[in-house]
Amino acid sequence: MDDHTPPQAVVDEVYWFLGAINRWLGGARATVRTFEALSRDWTPGACIRVLDVASGGGDLARALIRWGRAQGFDLHVTALDVSLPALDCARRRGEADDRLHFVCADVHQARGRDGAFDYVTCALYFHHLTDDEVVQMLRSFDRLATRGIVVNDLVRR
């Protein structure tokens, strides 16, 4: 997946598998728990705008929206990915939701004004990057977020 563009059926299978792994290992839960802590300062019914970078199959974006609804927040997520096949898969993996928007773009060139989001989050992507790319990514996140950045990743050896 990192080095080429496989057929859509393979993309779908990979994101189904990654979704199962994330459910089993609690990948989305770790990020949602961080948002639970952050939400202590939110007003009930508040509109919270989140950018989910490298959203892949959309599991985290949908988990955040479900959690936000359950907590009484008007949480809107923009799922951003450079891969159109990944976003196509993400769209088909769940029902349409007016709080979820899909954007195919690179975060460094994403059309969004500075401070366009309350939070920028990214899960299980940084381990694909070099140290310099991580720094560039965090700078882009900082430009787009007004309230915080939430990164959840692993160490890849």
State pLDDT tens for residues 68-97. 999 999 999 999 999 999 898 899 988 889
Architecture of the domain whose range is 8-152: 3-Layer(aba) Sandwich (3.40)
Q: Which helix (H) or strand (E) holds 80?
A: strand 74-81
For residue 2, give every residue at least 6 positions away whose Cβ sits within 8 Å of its Cβ, in sequence order, or none: 128
pTM over 0.85: yes
Q: Which residues of the chain have pLDDT under 50?
A: none
What does pLDDT average to over the chain? 88
Q: What is the pLDDT of residue 3?
A: 53
The Cα 157–Cα 154 span in angstroms is: 10
